[in-house]
Amino acid sequence: MNRRQFLRPRKIVPSTSDLNTTAEGNNPEVKKRTNSGLSKYSGTWSDKERMHLLRRTTFGPSMTDFKSFQSKTMDQCITALLDTSNLSIAPPVNNYQNRVQDPNVEYGKTWVDAPFDTALEGVRKNSLKCWLWSIGAEGTGTIFEKMWLFWHNHFATEMTAVPSASASYYYFKALMDNSLGNFKALTRAITLDPAMLYYLNGRLNTKNAPDENYARELQELFTLGKGTDSKFTEDDVKAAARVLTGFTIDFRTTPFSSLFLPNKHDNTDKEFSDFFGNTVVKGRSTSTGGYDELDDLLDMIFSVEEVSKYICRRLYRYFVYYEIDSNAESNVIEPLALIFRNNNFDIKPVLETLLSSEHFYDTWNQACLIKDPFSHTAGYVKQFKPAFPSNTEYENLYKAYYLGWAYSTILQMDLGDPPSVSGWEAWYQIPLYQRFWITSDSLPKRNEYQDYLLWVGYNIGTEKLLVDPWTLTVQFNTPSDPNKLITEATQFLLPFELSNDQIISLKEVILPGGIPDYNWSDDYQAAIDPSNSNHSTALTNITLKLKLLYKAIMNLSEYQLS
């Protein structure tokens, strides 16, 4: 399949009433996507639907994740995915001691609360980026890692613009701690976050020199968006900037913290436009005046319905589909936004409703997103489980993480450093959206990453990070049957069923020239039985064929979809 075919929307026939025909071959053409909405899904609950849920809410389910969900109902699966209450994510550690000496942090200990050190911030940032990638690759079996990436893209900062690695770590910790919490509370926390205060010049915003940078993005990107119903004005930006004067960074603390300076704060009243009901935020001159005015500002912004609609649209594009037509707006976004408002901007009820809706499982909304580079690199490792170095071999372990982060960066997704404050183009840029992830340059490099770990391996000291095809294969129910093996492998690795011709092509990989099925079965049994006289030859033969099979599956354009 060439790139033009790959990027063309799939034609799935929902019903004859939704179709017309073209002059060429009477091929069905879709006039509209779907009328489904937020009614609870009541259709078949099979492995197909479970895998769709897992693909969209994780960076690719491991076989362990999948099997743990096979006995669960839809409600039980969603409850498990949204239960992040017992997660404990250890912070990044000093993995760089053998290259750069850190006088304040022992090898293997975390650096996140260490004093700022210009000579060490670079290696600490690399440590942080590798750590971020590892969270996705190791997985939690929940929606946790998907959500902190969502918020990183939403409240984007760039490590290159923030001098302190610790500040960036605590920015990510705020996103993680609030990943399924209250959006309004998270917005407040990020407004005062040292990394954000540095990135969008909040620390420079004073009564004598108001800086509008954060005030603009707070409305334009973080809460209201730039849609036709988002009608805040330039004067609203200026007024919000005045509300936010006086907040800065306390560089005396370890790590850096936020600080309010009353003498730098504009304590006069701030009046907003009729879009905000001509609200007046009363000026304060007390030691907590800035915090009180910030709360008033957020109360005012969050009273506008467009906030809930804007965030629900962003969640929709992230979890469901990148384009929102009039049906999706009225049947999904608007009622979902009402749920958001009625729950005081808690994220969890919104996700519970969306992930259990008929719209989420609608055929039109399956296998229609391109995997982002993080999902691609981390998901591959999650599903094939190459053996990582011991978690006490810090330098080697982080070298293994580095490969995944480096390839994600090569594929245009540098964790910690999105292209701009708007985040990654694939989640907002009309009309391409997630098609940005696939180019004539990036697609071969995606394959290169897979091939490298499958065929060559990544040398780390005396160890090698290498995919062993047996690790996944033995977890299937009947790998000794070539037909069942292909069925199980494709159902696990691909988001929808293949055509008969594709299945025949895959079978030709492991049984070329019409070799009978029993040949595979006999060789497979010999390969797993060390006492068999043909064990060594069969093991070599079957291992090679398994690699060829997985390579052929991953070469399919379907593998790039979620």
Q: State how far the Cα of 140 lies from the Cα of 47, in Å rounded to an integer.
A: 20
Q: State how far the Cα of 251 lies from the Cα of 166, in Å rounded to an integer.
A: 12
Phi, psi (deg, nearest 5) at residue 243: -60, -40
User: Which three-class secondary structure string do you get for 431-443?
Assistant: CCHHHHHCCCCHH
CB atoms closer than 10 angstroms to residue 70: 10
From the number of C-beta atoms within 10 Å of its C-beta (0-12, 13-18, 19+), residue 99 rates as exposed
How far is C-alpha 137 from the chain's CA centre?
Answer: 12
Q: State how far the Cα of 25 lies from the Cα of 125, in Å rounded to an integer.
A: 56
- Continuous H helices in 476-534: 482-493, 500-510, 517-527
CA distance readout (Å), 381 to 66, 137, 454: 15, 6, 11
Nearest CA among 59, 80, 17 for reference residue 355: 80
At 477, list the tokens.
Answer: 């129910």
**C-alpha dihedral over 390, 393, 395, 400, to 10 degrees?**
-10
Q: What is the DSSP string of 120-150?
A: THHHHHHHHHHHHHHHHHH--SSSHHHHHHH
First to last CA, the chain: 17
Q: State how far the Cα of 77 lies from the Cα of 122, in Å rounded to an integer.
A: 41
Residue owning tokens 């098609």: 435
Q: What is the DSSP string of 54-83?
A: HHHHSSS--HHHHHHHTT--HHHHHHHHT-
Taking each helix axis from N to C terminus, what angle separates 482-493 and 517-527, rounded to the nearest 10 degrees? Answer: 80
Residue owning tokens 């296998």: 367
The backbone region for 459, taken as left when phi is positive above 0, alpha when psi lies in -120 to 50, beta otherwise, is: beta
Q: State how far the Cα of 179 lies from the Cα of 186, in Å rounded to an integer.
A: 8
Per-residue pLDDT of the chain (562 residues; tens, 9 = 90+): 444 455 454 443 333 233 333 333 333 343 468 999 999 999 999 999 999 999 999 999 999 999 999 999 999 999 999 999 999 999 999 999 888 999 999 999 999 999 999 999 999 999 999 999 999 999 999 999 999 999 999 999 999 999 999 999 999 999 999 999 999 999 999 999 999 999 999 999 999 999 999 999 999 999 999 999 999 999 999 999 999 999 999 999 999 999 999 999 999 999 999 999 999 999 999 999 999 999 999 999 999 999 999 999 999 999 999 999 999 999 999 999 999 999 999 999 999 999 999 999 999 999 999 999 999 999 999 999 999 999 999 999 999 999 999 999 999 999 999 999 999 999 999 999 999 999 999 999 999 999 999 999 999 988 999 999 999 999 999 999 999 999 999 999 999 999 999 999 999 999 999 999 999 999 999 999 999 999 999 999 999 999 999 999 999 999 999 9
Phi, psi (deg, nearest 5) at residue 114: -80, 155
Q: What is the pTM of this model?
A: 0.94
E-strand ranges in 208-310 read 247-250, 257-260, 270-271, 280-281
| Helices vs. strands in the chain: H and E counts, helices first | 25, 8
Phi, psi (deg, nearest 5) at residue 40: -65, 135
CB atoms closer than 10 angstroms to residue 220: 16
Q: Which residues in 391-424 are b (16+ Cβ under 10 Å) and which e?
A: eebbbbbbbbbbbbbbbbbbbbbbbbbbeebbbb
**Which residues, in sequence order, are CB contacts of 458 under 8 Å at separation 6+?**
400, 403, 452, 464, 465, 466
CA distance readout (Å), 128 to 200, 220, 385: 21, 29, 22
**How many residues are listed for the chain in this entry?**
562
At 106, list the tokens.
Answer: 């022992």
